[in-house]
Amino acid sequence: MDKRIDFLYLNEPDMIEAGVTDIARCIEVMEEALVLLADGDYMMAGDRGDSHGAMISFPKEPKHEGMPKDDIDRRFMAMPAYLGGRFRATGVKWYGSNIENRKSDMPRSIHVFVLNDTDTGAPLAIMSGNLLSAYRTASVPNVGVKHLAVENVETVGIIGPGVMSQKTLKGLLTQREGVKHVKIKGRSKDSTERSAAEIRAAHPQLESVTIVDSEKEAVENVEILITGANASPNGHKEFPQVKGEWLSPGTLVIAPGATHFDDDFLINTRKVVDYMGLYDEWHHEYTTQVAYDQIGIIGSRMLKLQHDGHFPREDLQQMGDIAAGRVEGRQSDDEIIIYSVGGMPVEDVAWAHDIYDYAKENNIGTSLNLWETPAAY
């Protein structure tokens, strides 16, 4: 029996050549992944198989020389998963995050992805993971746009117009090509002006990209609202604040970032989540209120309201069930829908699987040898 193991190394240019930035295709793959999640054909970490991953964080006041100090987004994280269906793939995303990287014009988080043979455990590929992560993150909200947005979308609002919101907008424009206007609300003048310039350059077909001064202005008279702000270390009181009364009939809110909505709005509005198991696991790990304050994803707040008896659990609908046709999508042009997106490692596995297959078929990347035969076993 041949014991040799080779694996494919894909650096960032290789990943681009293999199609990692094809966001329209990525949206299709994320739709498949969400259906498999709803079907239960997956495994993630933790004793319940639903964990976002295993995180290393640091103390506020380290007692040992050289140990990092706690700060915003200062962490290391491993995110393993198995996804079934046509993928039948296993892998892990590993990343380190430090907000100080931005002072050196480096990404806040630096990602590597390992794709494994599900039967032997051998590595199939080691990949540059930043674009993989960014495009799957931006694609999951757009499964919601495909199924839940009104057909004629002309104006999009963005609260928190950073890199991820811009990638989400890129995907949105593949699903609703009639968008003409984008309104953005950021936290700082310089970064918001930079984001506006980047959006104008990337999408010259847009008639206007307007910086607004308040969340209210960003929310009013839009068909789709993207909430992409980062969570605050001081909890939801410092998140961008949005009142439900500002939303026009028919608005779809896609919420992968931290924004606080009043409870009455959440209770009385149609609620969709990417996958309930993730929010149940965050409740198990943190409690729902702590998860909401620390992570900032609105689905945790929805789950707390459900636990408090404000509505039945079946009011929290899963995107995979909608995509599979088991639950109705948009029910009227006036319906307001909020779609919570938390992000899960099965999504990385799905996109990595397809990128790997394309790279193999087209001789992209570098083959590296793990061993000819193992020295010990």
Per-residue pLDDT tens over the stretch 278-334? 999 999 888 878 788 888 899 999 999 999 999 999 999 999 999 999 999 999 999
* Residue 14: φ, ψ to 5°: -60, -45
pLDDT of the residue at 235: 84
* Integer Cα distance of 70 and 72 in angstroms: 7
- Cα separation, 128 vs 260, in Å, equals 34
Name residue 13's amino acid: P
Q: What residues form DSSP beta bridges with 126? A: 9, 114
Cβ-contact 312, 306 below 8 angstroms: yes
143: phi then psi, degrees, rounded to nearest 5: -65, -35
- Euclidean distance between CA atoms 328 and 320, whole angstroms: 11
- Give the amino acid at 342: G
Nearest-angstrom CA–CA distance, 17 and 368: 19
pLDDT, residue 125, reads 98
pLDDT at 287: 81
Q: How far is CA 339 from the centre of its chain?
A: 12
At 352 the pLDDT is 98
Domain with CATH 3.30.1780.10 in the chain: 5-133+346-371
Residue of 90, 112, 48, 91 lying closest to 282 (CA atoms): 48
The conformational region for residue 343 under phi > 0 = left, psi -120 to 50 = alpha, else beta, is left
List all residues 6 or more positions away from 325 whose beta carbon is below 8 Å from its beta carbon.
Answer: none
- Average pLDDT of every residue of the chain: 95
- At residue 185, what are phi and psi to the nearest 5 degrees? -130, 115
How far is CA 64 from each of CA 47, 61, 72, 78, 353, rounded to the nearest angstrom?
A: 31, 9, 20, 24, 41
Taking 50 as the pLDDT cut, the residues of the chain under it are: none
Q: Where in the chain is the domain with CATH 3.40.50.720?
A: 141-344
CA dist 336 and 249 (Å) reads: 6
**Amino acid identity of 189?**
K
Q: For residue 244, give the nearest of 267, 226, 228, 223 by alpha carbon.
A: 267
According to the CATH classification, is domain 5-133+346-371 in 3.40.47.10?
Answer: no
Q: Which residues lie below 8 Å from residue 84, measured CB to CB, with a gap of 6+?
A: 36, 41, 42
Collapsing DSSP states into helix, strand and coil, what is residue 76?
strand
The owner of tokens 């051998």 is 122
- Per the DSSP assignment, residues forming a β-bridge with 45 are 51
CATH superfamily of the 141-344 domain: NAD(P)-binding Rossmann-like Domain (3.40.50.720)
Report d(CA 26, CA 263) in Å as an integer: 33
Length of the chain, please?
Answer: 377
- The 8-class DSSP code of residue 51 comes to B
Residues 340/305, Cβ–Cβ less than 8 Å: no
